[in-house]
Structures are given as C-alpha cells and as structure tokens.
Amino acid sequence: MRNAAKITTAVLAAGALTFGLTACGSDKDSGSASDSSGPLIVAASPTPHAEILNFVKKNLAEKAGLDLEVKEFSDYVLPNTATEDGSVGANYFQNQPYLDDFNKKNGTHIVPVVTVHLEPLGLYSSKIKSVDELKSGATIAVPNDTVNEARALKLLAANGIITLKDGAGNDATIKDIAKNDKNLKFKELEAAQTPRSLDDVDAAVINGNYAISADLKPAEDALVLESPKDNPYGNFLAVKEGNEKDPRVEKLAKLLTSPEVKKFIEDKYDGSVIPSF
C-alpha cells in the first residue's frame, strides 16, 4: 500500500513509515470513540476499501444520518494503531488471521464488526503465462508478514507448485515447505512491494488490493487465484473493543452490507473483489 495517494488534508508520519492518506473533511479527533457525536473517521486501504467507503459516503451516509470521513493509509500497521489510540474511530482493511496475529504481537484490542468482502490472493507474472512455465530455480516473491506469507504458500500448495509440511497453518513460512521439485527460490517482501517486484522476479504472490492498485485484474491476470469457498480471509470493518455498539459504527456496518454496496462491488470489480454477504 505504498502507492502514491492524493493527500487532501494532512500527512501523518510515524517513525520511518511513509504513507499516503486521503481525508474527507475535517482531521479532528471527533472521529474517535470518545466523541460519538462527531463524524466517524475510518482508516482504510486505498483500494478497494476506501473506494467502497467513499461510495457509502457519497450515496448512502447522509440519508442514514451518518457523518463519515475516510482516511487512506498506505500500510497494514498504522490503521490498527490509530484505531487503538482513538485517532480514528474504525478501520477497514484486514482479515481475521491478520488481526489475530497483530493483536497478539502488539497488545492491541481491535475486534471485527462486520465482514464485507474478499480480495482473492493471486500469483502474477510479467514473464510467463502459466504456472507450467515456471523453470527450475525460478524466483517467486511472497509477502513477508506472518499471515500473508502463509496465505501465499497455501495458494502455491493448493495449485501443486509446492507441498507444505503437514499441519502448516496461518503462521507457515518458507521453512515449512516440504517439497519443492523445481527448487524455486522465494523473495520475501512487504506486501505493498510485491507488485513492483514483477520485473525482478519470475512471479509474485500479490494481495488483491495491491493488485488492483497496480492495474492488475485478479480475475483475468492471475496465473492462479485463491478460491472464495470457505475462505477465512474476508475483509471487515473493525473497531477498538468496546466500541462495537457506537451508533455511528452500527450505521456504517449496516450500510456496508446493503444491497447497494453489494451491487457496487460486483459492478466495479467484476470478480476481483467478492462481496461476503
């Protein structure tokens, strides 16, 4: 999520992390859970999360009595830390395995509210047209965070590219590869960097939102694509524990799972993003 994004209000910085953000309207603390009378500020990845939220803001929020502001964050850490410290009232960018791992490692207290969509993970290449063309010793880029690396390896295993050890779960790494007949090499990168690696590697496993941001069409361009059946990686609206019943959050949860949003997702993303409701 380090693609350039328009900055319409303010730029936030945290350590060495750099990110783009788009804020609609005010950047006041009124989006925090401590002031339920103010606007609900939601941290989101630019694509498709912020696009979906901005559809809600433009077409549904006013009628529902919801004052909604959207901030785009270009990484997978700051949306949760901002939600934890009350800088924003909610976030929309992640799945349950990622959140479980994040809460455990960071001592945060973020909880899901409602699942909205799935972005199928895919294997992409600018050099080959099918997985059968992967040569011995080829290099595949994979996300380096705990959940997405395991998810990437499971995708490769499900398509016969590698075999994982029995019991490899949501924290699987390349050390859990049991069989690698083509002696494939793996380049571990931040998830946001995987689309940029396509010129340097033979193939890359890319998260759906980053693929779309890089003008890839998962439903058309992926060599192999994650199945939505029984998939635990649906993306949801999340808040700090205790704020689930905030009236603003409840309104947004209802809007995000409305027929209008379902149609918007289906029409705009054409199978590259799949409604989960």
pLDDT of the residue at 271: 85
CATH architecture of the domain covering 122-225: 3-Layer(aba) Sandwich (3.40)
What is the average per-residue pLDDT within 152-165? 97
Question: Which pLDDT tens digit goes with each residue over 175-199?
Answer: 999 999 999 999 999 999 999 999 9
What is the distance between the alpha carbons of residues 81 and 272, in angstroms, rounded to a whole number? 28
pLDDT at residue number 146 = 87
Which single residue is written with the structure tokens 């940029």? 196
Give burial (CB, 10 Å; 0-12/13-18/19+) of 254. Answer: middle
Class of domain 29-119+232-275: alpha beta
Say yes or no to pLDDT of 16 above 90: no
Are the folds of 29-119+232-275 and 122-225 the same?
yes
C-alpha torsion 86→91→95→97, nearest 10: -10
Which tokens belong to 27?
A: 């950047």
Domain chopping of the chain, boundaries: 29-119+232-275, 122-225
The span from the first CA to the last CA of the chain, in angstroms, equals 25
Contact 216/124 with Cβ under 8 angstroms?
A: yes
Say yes or no to pLDDT of 25 above 50.
no
Does residue 264 contact residue 52 with C-beta atoms inside 8 Å?
Answer: yes
Phi-psi region of 65 (alpha: psi -120 to 50; beta: other; left: phi over 0): left
**Tens of pLDDT, residues 89-141:** 999 999 999 999 999 999 999 999 999 999 899 999 999 999 999 999 999 99
Residue-level pLDDT at 34: 55
Which residue has 């696009």 as its token pair?
51
Mean pLDDT of the chain: 88
What is the amino acid identity at position 265?
Answer: I
Among 173, 172, 171, 153, residue whose Cα is nearest residue 163? 153
Q: Minimal CA–CA distance to 182: which of 202, 152, 165, 207?
A: 202
Alpha-carbon distance of 138 to 215, in angstroms, equals 24
**Tokens encoding 176:** 């859990």
Report CA-CA distances (Å) from 164 to 64, 155, 169: 48, 11, 10
Q: What is the pLDDT of residue 272?
A: 86
